[in-house]
Amino acid sequence: MNPSLMGYETAVLERLDPARRRAAADELLALEATVQGAPALRAALTDTAVTAVARRGVMEDVLRGKVSAEAARIAAFAAFAAPAPDVPIALTDAALRAAAAADADGELDEPALSVTGSRARVGGYAACVFEELPTEALDGVEDDLFRWALTVSASPELRRAITNRDLPAPARAEIVVGLLAGRASEVTVRLARYAVVGGRPRDLLGTLDWLVDRVAEERGWRVARVRAARAIDEEAGDRLSATLRGLVGRPVELQVEPRPELLGGVVVEVGDLRVDATVRGRLDALAEALRAGRSDGAGATTATQGAS
């Protein structure tokens, strides 16, 4: 099944009571049969000349007022997320998965995927969550997710508990909910929980960082990861944000991580841009230059001895 669709459908279905979940599954099964038996609609959905956005619009128009909002959302996203030739298969997969979720009372084990596939699945889940909210509701979510990632990184015991594949995914997810509920927004809790359920255990910290970027993009911002030897005050932070905005062309959200071992200065990463302005970085560069100089000198000595 398309990983992005898998995550998106999970986010839709988990908010429904059992009766509505069953109704959405029945509607998707009926829709899948309709598409299989309607050559004109099937042709429109599998036409490679039609963009993914247009396919989604076609599906939304066809289903408007005919099925529940939940079934329509899932079907329209299937038409958007899958390559055109695979849209009918994506609809079949979505219908079967919805039926399985209805039978299992909403709890499905997510199959193991690659790092790329797992992040795509978490991204589909996040896309559904973002659709349900105004942009301003995402304020603070980046900071919450960033702090949660730091907490997980700093606690080997916690990290082992929520990435232990011998423990059922719902149990691992409940650890996250128990620690974050009441301390972070509902959006943060949902995203952090699904990072455990739908993400790859060994990539949990990478998935959380990736989610921070997705939230920032949804708000029209970029995330700058700043590792600093000491705290950055508000004035210095504003200057750094303004400088980075000029470089990347978008507002920048600073995520600052204290790193005393850097001795002084900061390391800044925004996407592919990396600036190392630390004392440790300068010392390492100097040591590398000295090693290179010694190597060149030894070579020159050998060459001179050989010539004599």
Q: What is the pLDDT of residue 247?
A: 65
The answer to whether residue 145 is domain-embedded is: yes
Q: What is the pLDDT of residue 216?
A: 79
Half-sphere exposure of 167 (CA within 13 A, CB side): 15
What are the two backbone dihedrals, phi and then psi, of residue 270, each rounded to the nearest 5 degrees? -130, 105
**Which of 207, 212, 192, 241 minimizes the C-alpha distance to 116?**
207
The answer to whether residue 69 is domain-embedded is: yes
Same domain flag for 203 and 275: no
- Name the stretches of the chain with pLDDT < 70: 106, 220-223, 246-251, 253, 262-264, 270-273, 277-308
C-alpha 232 chain-centroid distance: 27
The answer to whether residue 243 is domain-embedded is: yes
Answer for the pair 216, 265: CB distance below 8 angstroms, yes or no.
no
Same domain flag for 186 and 197: yes
Q: What is the pLDDT of residue 263?
A: 66
Same domain flag for 16 and 97: yes
Q: Please count the structural domains in the chain.
A: 3
Domain boundary residue among 161, 184, 218? 218
The answer to whether residue 117 is domain-embedded is: no
User: CA–CA distance from 141 to each of 133, 156, 158, 182 (Å)?
Assistant: 12, 24, 21, 14
The answer to whether residue 129 is domain-embedded is: no
Same domain flag for 8 and 94: yes
As a three-state string, the secondary structure of the chain is CCHHHHHHHHHHHCCCCHHHHHHHHHHHHHHHHHHHCCHHHHHHHHCCCCCHHHHHHHHHHHHCCCCCHHHHHHHHHHHHHCCHHHHHHHHHHHHHHHHHHHHCCCCCCCCCCCHHHHHHHHHHHHHHHHHCCCHHHHCCHHHHHHHHHHHHHHCHHHHHHHCCCCCCHHHHHHHHHHHHECCECHHHHHHHHHHHHHCCHHHHHHHHHHHHHHHHHHCCCEEEEEEECCCCCHHHHHHHHHHHHHHHCCCEEEEEEECHHHCCEEEEEECCEEEEEEHHHHHHHHHHHHHHHHHHHHHHHHHHHHHC
Same domain flag for 78 and 95: yes
Domain boundary residue among 218, 252, 270? 218
Same domain flag for 20 and 98: yes
Same domain flag for 99 and 8: yes
Report CA Rg, the chain: 25
The answer to whether residue 151 is domain-embedded is: yes
Same domain flag for 232 and 189: no
Same domain flag for 57 and 91: yes
Same domain flag for 201 and 234: no
Domain of residue 141, residue span: 134-218
Domain boundary residue among 189, 218, 247? 218
Same domain flag for 232 and 176: no
Same domain flag for 21 and 75: yes
Q: pTM here? A: 0.72
The answer to whether residue 127 is domain-embedded is: no
